Amino acid sequence: MSKQKFKLSTIIIFFVCLVVLLSLLFTDLLISHTVSNSIRVNLEEKAKIVSRTVAKSVIVKNGLENEEQDEGAIQQYTSEIQQATNVLFVVVMDMNGIRKSHPNPAMIGKSFVGGDEKAVLNGKEHISLSTGTLGQSLRAFTPIYGPDNEQIGAVAVGISLNIVEQALEKGHQNIIIGSIIGILVGVLGAVILARYIKKILFGLEPLTIAKIHEERNTMLQSVHEGIIAVDKDSTITLVNKSALRIFMNTGLPDNPVGMKLTEYMPSSKLDRVLKTGKPEQDVELTVNGVSILVNRVPLIVNKEIVGALSTFRDKTEVHQLAEQLTGVRMYAEALRAQSHEFMNRLHVILGLVKMGCFDELKKFINQIVDHRVHEIDHVTKNIKDPALAGFIMGKLSYARENLVEMRIENETVIPEPREAYVTHELITILGNVIDNAIEALNNMKEKKVQVKLNYSKHQLQIKIRDSGPGLKKDQFTQIFEKGYSTKGSNRGYGLYLVNKSIESLGGSIQLNLSNENGTEFIIQIPYEVKEGDE
């Protein structure tokens, strides 16, 4: 590979300046041409409009037809038009080219000067550039016709070319000033950029930069969680935000870049990977009492170990997330609520037996049996998935335990899903939203939760509504964020998991904002059922 002739800073400065210079040059040429044409077209249009306006004037027509009767009216009218439109002159002439108006009254009655009026006296409207008594001007000529549609004269409106040139010159000056400033800024920016790149790349040249870039790409492809990377001398070169968060929990310093890994975290064992070149997967590591799961891999470029990379995550967080995602906590809570409710009823029955209140006992048992049979019959009849039906019955018990009136309404029968994982995701969704709804009713007099299930055309709709205090508008965009909660620290995972489960199923969730009180979640998910169940 040939050696580089110029330094990186020199190449950057040269090419940045060249690009800026060429860009501004072409921009100057294009803008100047465009601005020039635009100004000229606008002025021509202005002169043409004024001349047409004057040509249609009754005062002008009467003055040309009855010179003695309306003597001086044309001059007064054109003077007013000239002042109002800020043009150089407005001249009305008869068919012999004799002026009937002029900015200089002494010129009235004399022939029009310029030689470009002949075409308009033959009935042709046109634009021209010519020199007259007031200097060089851009002129718009319009014929004037009488009542019998016979030409009786013409009007000429002039705009000084000095105004045109001044406008063009001013626009061009602004462009030139802008271009010069742009060039200076470009040069300054190129110098600063070159120095900055040199600094952040530790003075490395392009060939070395390409090698480092390849190393970093290798590291980034290995990153899944928190990461820490070291070079071949065990110096920490990279730490991401997730890693810093975990390090803060372990009490380690929050800025380890540049430190030796053996000094910062002696128990990491990442230096061992530098020596052996062998990766280590799913290793449990304890740092200041915090357990983390670690993966270690060497970074190899051109068959040479140039560093090592460690990816890791807090083991407690992994376990917590796995437990919530699998729905184990949901099942356990449902079973605990049912067991607790059953024990409470046994205590009541035992008390009635001891007191000999057999009539009350019979009535109490009949109420339990009727209610339980009705509840179980309703759920199992309309929800064909046994796991989901059992989970919902557990949630009904949990609601009663918290003195909450919870109703399950099935608008249709809910078939069993084709894939088992859908049941698991539904338990996560229903469990977290219902738990949030029940918890929101802690301080409410009216404690009601309504769950509606509807299946139609491979779509399952779930509506969960509570009679709680509702959400504030500024909370609508935050409730699904991980860690966001209004109920204290170490909370805010429920709705985050709900949102993740819905995303994994390809569904959607929205809030019904039409309710003044309470909160209503509307969840829509694709729902493929087992063959023969639909």
Average pLDDT, the chain: 78
Residue 250's closest CA among 233, 275, 228, 232?
228
More confident residue, 118 or 209: 118
Amino acid of residue 196: Y
Q: Write down the pLDDT at residue 1.
A: 44
Residue 95 pLDDT > 90: no
- Non-local (6+) Cβ contacts of 321 within 8 A are 493
58, containing H or E segment? helix 58-65
Q: How many residues does the chain have?
A: 534
Residue 231: phi and psi, rounded to 5, are -90, -175
Query: Looking up tokens 């800025």, which residue turns up?
Result: 255
DSSP 97-118: -BBS--SSGGGTTSBP-SS--H
More confident residue, 118 or 340: 118
Residue 10: phi and psi, rounded to 5, are -65, -40
Q: pLDDT tier at 76 (50, 70, 90 boundaries)?
A: confident
Strand partners, 142: 155
Mean pLDDT of 49-54: 90
Domains (ranges, CATH) in the chain? 14-166 (3.30.450.20), 218-315 (3.30.450.20), 327-526 (3.30.565.10)
What is the share, in percent, of the chain residues with pLDDT greater than 70?
Answer: 79
Residue 393: phi and psi, rounded to 5, are -65, -35
Q: Whole-angstrom Cα distance, residue 334 to residue 198?
A: 62
Is 388:417 a contact under the CB 8 Å cutoff?
Answer: no
Q: Write down the pLDDT at residue 401.
A: 80
Q: Write down the pLDDT at residue 326.
A: 47
Q: Whole-angstrom Cα distance, residue 510 to residue 471?
A: 13
Residue 220: phi and psi, rounded to 5, are -65, -35
Strand partners, 392: none
More confident residue, 448 or 34: 448
Q: Whole-angstrom Cα distance, residue 148 to residue 150?
A: 5
Residue 299's closest CA among 372, 210, 231?
231
Residue 42 pLDDT > 60: yes
Structure tokens at 292: 């983390």
Express the helix, strand and coil content of the chain in percent, nearest 5 each: 50, 20, 25
Structure tokens at 418: 């084709």
Q: Write down the pLDDT at residue 303.
A: 81
Give the least confident one: 29-43, 222-236, 335-349, 406-420.
335-349
Q: Write down the pLDDT at residue 223.
A: 54
Give 513's DSSP letter: T
More confident residue, 316 or 505: 505
For the chain, the C-alpha Rg in angstroms (whole number) is 44
Q: Write down the pLDDT at residue 239.
A: 79
Residue 96's closest CA among 73, 121, 76?
121
Residue 9's closest CA among 182, 193, 187?
193
Q: Write down the pLDDT at residue 30.
A: 74
Write the pLDDT tens digit of every residue in 422-435. Answer: 888 888 888 888 88
Residue 141 pLDDT > 80: yes
Is 505:425 a contact under the CB 8 Å cutoff?
Answer: yes
Q: Whole-angstrom Cα distance, residue 392 to residue 389?
A: 5
Q: Write down the pLDDT at residue 452.
A: 92
Strand partners, 309: 229, 297
More confident residue, 420 or 8: 420
Write the pLDDT tens digit of every residue in 358-400. Answer: 777 666 666 665 555 556 777 878 888 888 888 888 788 788 8
